[in-house]
Amino acid sequence: MKTEVFRDTDQLYLAAANYVLAAIKKNPKIVLGLAAGNTPIPLYKKMVEAHEKENLSFSDITTFNLDEYVGVDQEHPASFYRFTRDHLFDLTDIDHLKTHGLNGVASDLKAECDQYENLLKMAGGIDLQILGLGPNGHIGFNEPGSDKSSRTRLINLSAETKSKIERSLFFDRDIPTQGLTIGVANILEAKKIILIATGASKANAVKNCFSGKESAQWPASFLQSHKDVIVLLDGASAK
């Protein structure tokens, strides 16, 4: 595991974008694993800029989102698929047919997860996975208690994640209590992983996840056994 700490977040996102854009230039048919949430927004902005200013094409890349809320359709403003569409797909030449997101309103959620596993397999797995980090150490919706062999599945959201959803103001009622997520094992199968964590609210998770010990209580700690992980931190999260 390689850790890089940046004094300012601009430098951090410049480094993150350099890794991602270099990987796309090297392999225009790359399979990218995408996170939603606040963390990747500046990275996706830089990808959009590279498309606009450098004419870099993303038309051959394939994407797989990490997770989705159960009961939220992909048009809903809180949908993670919609998030990646609004921040990345619609602003570049990414082929929508090559983008994938779990369907949180599928009538058979187990079948939806199995089908996602198949799609991932057919795509040859993820080449480069982009991750944020939950303050409780979650990656995707692999909440505390998720083990290393976990795969794409339905999961109950933790109290911490639910309170974040409440604060996000996307919902005045029917706050999601469950999610669909690719598992820790799926993430560990990615050839390369870039995890970004910024801000003081992530410092405790960073300490517990990357201190050497692996534990299902801190799911991101399993990343430590992956052979190509880059963890990008700012001063506050690294504290």
Which residues are known catalytic residues?
Answer: 67, 136, 138, 143
Residue 68 CB, nearest approach to ligand F6R (Å): 8
Distance CA 144, CA 107 (A): 27
DSSP codes joined into one string, 28-85: TT-EEEE--SSTTHHHHHHHHHHHHHS----TT-EEEESEEETT--TTSTT-HHHHHH
Query: Residue 35 or residue 233: which is nearer to ligand F6R going by CB?
Result: 35
| Residues making contact with ligand F6R (CB under 6 A) | 35-39, 66-67, 80, 132-134, 138-140
Residue 5 CB, nearest approach to ligand F6R (Å): 18
Query: Residue 39 or residue 92: which is nearer to ligand F6R going by CB?
Result: 39
Residue 54 CB, nearest approach to ligand F6R (Å): 26
The tokens for 117 are 């596993």
Distance CA 162, CA 165 (A): 5
* Residues 32 and 61 sit within 8 Å (Cβ to Cβ): yes
DSSP 27: -
* Residues 203 and 239 sit within 8 Å (Cβ to Cβ): yes
Residue 132 CB, nearest approach to ligand F6R (Å): 3
- Write out the H or E segment, with its range, that includes residue 229: strand 229-234
Query: Residue 26 or residue 75: which is nearer to ligand F6R going by CB?
Result: 75
Query: Residue 38 or residue 149: which is nearer to ligand F6R going by CB?
Result: 38
Q: What spatial distance separates the first Cα and last Cα of the chain, rounded to whole Å?
A: 18
Residue 200 CB, nearest approach to ligand F6R (Å): 12
Q: How many residues does the chain have?
A: 239
Query: Residue 41 or residue 56: which is nearer to ligand F6R going by CB?
Result: 41
